[in-house]
Structure 1
């Protein structure tokens, strides 16, 4: 079973768009950043992908922007795995601003296992299926009173 994984960041000037809030594209970058950090934490980073000759690639994102993040805001990026099968893993994200206890953004991504050389779908190896386990149903990933940071 994988756990909730978190990164904390402070909104920087380069995150801000012409409307004065974090640009939509930045949220997608943050999704990649927190997912990559968790994968590294689980011991399946780029180096391991290259050794195993297969990798997980994003095939579908669903995003919902709820509130704007502003310059100087602290933001907690939270992710966890919600499901897995032979070809796909499903990752959830919630970005949270502790200052006002606001959920800023929710999203999920469907990831596919592919052979690196061909880009074709491949069944996940036991290395992947052992590491990419869904979060226990007993854990509420929206409970930020139990932040990992």
Structure 2
């Protein structure tokens, strides 16, 4: 059993591929950011808000800020589990996700992160209020940080 920081994570299994490895023979930091984007999209799609739905509503959640703590290196061939939680949704403009990356072999936490998103209008790129559908769906998926903060 994996020791997640918060309950009921949305989890994405990952295998470290050769193209993720940098000259130091571990996963390049840019790859971790790609993984955070990948799980964010997968989670949103699982909630019913995929790219087609974003386009139909002319809205999107765009990254405003990443905070990433790199705790240990991942290496080629390792099996990892990446988790995400929505921990804040103001129902107007912003949404915050937390992330945790664990290595399956030793259950070591390799990364913790937080990303703040702002709702934008796709057609203009300008900040816009979240559609009611975003607010409803993302608030239903909220996880309380107080319940499992470590």
TM-score (structure 1 length as normaliser): 0.89
**2:86 aligned with 1:78:** no
> Is 1:61 the equivalent of 2:62?
no
RMSD: 1.5
1:105-124 equivalences under 5 Å are: 105-124=111-130
Output one character per residue of 1:12-70: Cα deviation in whole Å (capped at 9) or x when no partner.
11111111100000000000000010011011011001100111111111111000001
Note the residue ranges of structure 2 that are not aligned, 5 or more in a row: 1-7
> Whole-Å Cα distance in 1 between the matches of residues 123 and 71 of structure 2?
39
Please state whether the residue corresponding to 2:128 is helix, strand or coil: coil
Check whether the contact 2:87–2:145 (CA below 8 A) recurs between aligned residues.
Answer: no
State the SS of the aligned residue for 1:124. coil
Unaligned runs of 5+ in 1: 143-149
Give 3-state SS (helix, strand or coil) of 1:17's partner: coil
Would the aligned equivalents of 1:4 and 1:141 in 2 still touch at CA under 8 Å?
no
* Cα-to-partner distance string for 1:104-137 (whole Å, 9 max, x where unaligned): 0111111000111111111111100111122145
1:11 aligns with 2:16: yes
* CA distance, structure 2, for counterparts of residue 110 and residue 125 of structure 1: 18
Shift, 1:98, TM fit: 2.0
TM-score, normalising length from structure 2? 0.88
Query: Are residues 1:27 and 2:27 paired?
Result: no
What does residue range 91-102 of structure 1 map to in structure 2 within 5 Å? Answer: 91-102=97-108
Give the number of aligned pairs: 140
Partner SS state of residue 101, structure 1: coil
| CA–CA distance in structure 1, aligned partners of residues 36 and 115 of structure 2 | 9
**4+ residue runs over 3 A deviation:** 136-142
Question: Could you tell me which residue of structure 1 aligns to residue 45 of structure 2?
Answer: 40
User: Does the C-alpha gap of structure 1 residues 137 and 63 become closer, same or farther in structure 2, counting only changes over 3 Å?
Assistant: closer
